[in-house]
Chains A and B, each alone.
Chain A
Amino acid sequence: MNNLRWKIGGHALAVVATLLLGGLLSATLVRLAPGFDADERELDPHLNTQSVQALREARRHEHNIFHFYLSYLNHSLHGDLGTSLALGQPVRTLLGDRLPLTTRLLTTGLGLAWMLSLTLALSAAWLRLSIFDVFTTVVSGTFLCIPAAVLALLSVLWNLPGSLAIALIVFPRTYRYASNLLVKVYSRPHILAARARGLGEARILFRHVVPVVTPQLLAVAGVSVSVAVGAAIPVEALCGLPGVGQLAWQAALARDLPLLVNITILVTLVTLLANSAADVIGHVVQRREI
């Protein structure tokens, strides 16, 4: 019991350390990238020298990144995530307002993408028809070649939900893994033997295929969350969905340090959760089989 508690504690500590590191690294990246000190507003010819200087002065406290990060952490412990520079609003409200939409968008999009890839991949593995293989390859290949922005625009053009665009961006990226893994498993000797013995397809699937392939498919699923998060940026921006993806893009263009650090920590958290969940469930499934 004590051992387990230690283990959980250790994991939690690792997660927190990774999150903190992620925040610091992202702050450093933003700070070191050119354009950090540049403000579009400086170009307004109405502004006099004092005002231009004041604009530049406003970011002085962010110059020393460690100093900035420590004070950010200190404030965030008290529930204050800082104020967005570009939008002038507290980061907490900005994220709070936009998170539900993005969560819904991503879960629906990922769900659709996985339904599509698993259906196609399983059909391909069962049918073992080369023509079907070619067909799915052409479909997934074509979607892979269409720029994400174009898919998003198409969804606007045909009045389709943004989650479908996310699904169509994610699907070809997961389908290929799923299909390759399934084909590999189905070509294993003991499954070929089971088929020869006339075992039912369902039985083969649940007894022999699922246990082997689940941990790996789960790993792909975990990673596909990151892919979907990336896809949310163009989709939200083009479909006019006020979510975190749209916010992240605005923040990046404005070099909005407080907002970017928070978004990175959030994305890191989601990635860690998704991938750890995939690992843990994968382990459980595998262990149960053994």
Chain B
Amino acid sequence: MSLGRKLACAALVLVMSASAAANWLAPAGYSKQYREATNAPPSHTHWLGTDEIGRDRFARVLYGTRISLLLAPAAALLSTLMAAFFGGLAGYLGGAWARTAMAVTDLFLSLPWLFLLIAARALMPLNVSPLISVLVTFLLLGLLGWTTAARVLCTTAASLRTSDFVRQARAAGLTGQRLFWMHVVPNLKPVLYAQFWISIPVFILSEANLGILGLGVAEPMPSWGSLLKELEGLVSVGEEPWKFAPLILLAVVVTSFQLLLSKQEEAA
């Protein structure tokens, strides 16, 4: 185990255990408004300061971690599996299948999904618990986020189909499912890992952006996405560097994920 991987593991374990211990580390909770100390700098009572309405930023980061670190990888996994299924299969089958699948993917990439999300919000009741809302949001993200990878996978699978070793495997009598799972899927791994890794932060940020449609976490619940949105008031953030804490944390987590994945990849 390399040093990088050890560090990555340690970072992930630390972040996860800190968020699990949020009740204990930040007993006041994420929604308590210290209205006398709004937008405060870090102090011994508020380690990362407070936000615009006086909520403890440290508590919000910890509780936000629970949601984002659990749901974003889950949604990323969903979209990766969908990409593997559609892209891999289409590329492997080839011919008219591949062409149709790719036309569908191209359409998928171009349609204004914003409106589907708006309609999805309208189908949900207004009095929905914040947790359900965020679950639905990540589910939608997972269901809509597979197209990019599918396209690359289709090309990869198609080139595998005509490659020598698959021909040899065929000649050796391997067919159908076994061939697909044993020889095609493993070679798709680089693309699958890339898709999975990219999707995590992308979904975390998308969740926050969907806030404008009434999707995503509902107030007062925090998520990393909504914390990162604070950075959009950049003109003022420059003077308050502690506001970058969620960004640094997310970057650390994402990097750690990649370091762990890259080892897998070399093994594959």
- Contact present between A and B (CB < 8 A): yes
Across-interface contacts of A184 in B (CB, < 8 A): 187, 189-190, 265
Across-interface contacts of B116 in A (CB, < 8 A): 29, 33
Q: How large is the interface on B (under 10, 10 to 19, 20 to 34, 35 or more residues)?
A: 35 or more
Q: Are A275 and B102 in contact (CB under 8 A)?
A: yes
Given contacts A137-B255, A279-B155, A286-B159, contact A145 B247 (CB under 8 A): yes
A199 lies within 8 A of chain B by Cβ: no
Q: Are A138 and B251 in contact (CB under 8 A)?
A: yes
**Complex CA–CA separation, A176 to B195 (angstroms):** 8
**Stretch with Cβ within 8 A of B (4 or more), from A49-57, A98-106, A160-168, A212-220:** A212-220
- Name the contact of B250 in the complex, choosing from A35, A145, A157, A278 (C-beta under 8 A): A145
Q: Which of B168-189 contact A (CB under 8 A)?
A: 187, 189
B197 lies within 8 A of chain A by Cβ: yes
Q: Which of B69-104 contact A (CB under 8 A)?
A: 99, 102-103
Given contacts A142-B251, A184-B265, contact A29 B156 (CB under 8 A): no
Q: Which of A180-221 contact B (CB under 8 A)?
A: 180-181, 183-184, 187, 212, 215-216, 218-220
Chain A interface secondary structure, helix, strand, loop or mixed?
helix
**Complex CA–CA separation, A141 to B208 (angstroms):** 18
Q: Are B159 and A215 in contact (CB under 8 A)?
A: yes
Q: Which of B126-167 contact A (CB under 8 A)?
A: 147-148, 151-152, 154-156, 158-159, 162
**Complex CA–CA separation, A212 to B190 (angstroms):** 14
Q: Are B152 and A177 in contact (CB under 8 A)?
A: yes
**Complex CA–CA separation, A150 to B237 (angstroms):** 11
Q: Are A176 and B194 in contact (CB under 8 A)?
A: yes
Q: Are A146 and B247 in contact (CB under 8 A)?
A: yes
A268 lies within 8 A of chain B by Cβ: yes
- Name the contact of A134 in the complex, choosing from B4, B187, B228 (C-beta under 8 A): B4
**Complex CA–CA separation, A143 to B135 (angstroms):** 26
> Which chain B residue shows the least CB distance to A180?
B190
**Complex CA–CA separation, A177 to B194 (angstroms):** 5
Across-interface contacts of B247 in A (CB, < 8 A): 142, 145-146
> Which chain B residue shows the least CB distance to A260?
B112
Across-interface contacts of B250 in A (CB, < 8 A): 145
Q: How large is the interface on A (under 10, 10 to 19, 20 to 34, 35 or more residues)?
A: 35 or more
Sort A-B residue pairs by CB-CB distance and give the 6 closest, nearest first: A180-B190, A219-B155, A33-B115, A268-B110, A29-B115, A141-B254
14 contacts between A and B (CB under 8 A): A18-B103, A26-B115, A29-B115, A30-B112, A130-B2, A141-B201, A154-B234, A176-B198, A177-B191, A187-B266, A216-B159, A223-B109, A226-B148, A260-B112
Other 11 A-B pairs with CB < 8 A, given A147-B231, A275-B102? A29-B113, A32-B115, A32-B119, A34-B122, A134-B255, A141-B201, A145-B251, A149-B232, A215-B158, A215-B159, A219-B154
Q: Interface on B for A, CB 8 Å cutoff? A: 2, 4, 99, 102-103, 105-107, 109-116, 118-119, 122, 147-148, 151-152, 154-156, 158-159, 162, 187, 189-191, 193-194, 197-198, 201-202, 204-205, 208-209, 228-229, 231-232, 234-235, 247, 250-251, 254-255, 258-259, 262, 265-266
Q: Interface on A for B, CB 8 Å cutoff? A: 14, 18, 21-22, 25-26, 29-30, 32-35, 130, 133-134, 137-138, 141-142, 144-150, 153-154, 157, 172-173, 176-177, 179-181, 183-184, 187, 212, 215-216, 218-220, 222-223, 226-227, 252, 260, 264, 267-268, 270-272, 275, 278-279, 282, 286
